[in-house]
Amino acid sequence: MVCLGNICRSPLAEGIMKQKIGEAGLQWEVDSAGTGHWHAGQLPDPRSIVTARQHGIDLTDQRARQFQVADFEQFDKIFVMDIQNRRDVQRLARTDEHRAKVELILDQIHPGQDHSVPDPYYDDNGFEAVFLMLDQACGAFVSTR
């Protein structure tokens, strides 16, 4: 799960996906990262923590980190939150196989439409809507496995 700073959207996506795969009895590794380094080592945004907690998910074990080229080898799928994140991550890809792993997360519910998860950082009221989008997308992905 990749967004810009790894404090709002991608931590929510990580927490939601972990919950969904746990409920499905799957043994997948899920992590999140940001394309930028500004928040490395920090907890998710307090608004993400509160929103997730309202849905029974604890994000306080997460710490922001920057996406690394090694992530292409570590993970089978790299979900990005928006078109700019996709560009930034694909710019780091060294092979076509790596590029093929990168997908907008909302393609799970809107295939091929290039929908982005809006960044709620500057909108206190946007966190719940983002949570619901990510919940639907993660649920769709898990249900197809």
Active-site residue set:
3, 9, 119
- Strands laid side by side in the 78-80 sheet: 33-34, 2-3, 78-80, 102-104
Residue 31 has what DSSP assignment? -
Contact between 103 and 76 (Cβ < 8 Å): no
Handedness of CA 23, 106, 103, 79 (dihedral sign): negative
Helix axes 46-54, 127-143, angle to 10 degrees: 60
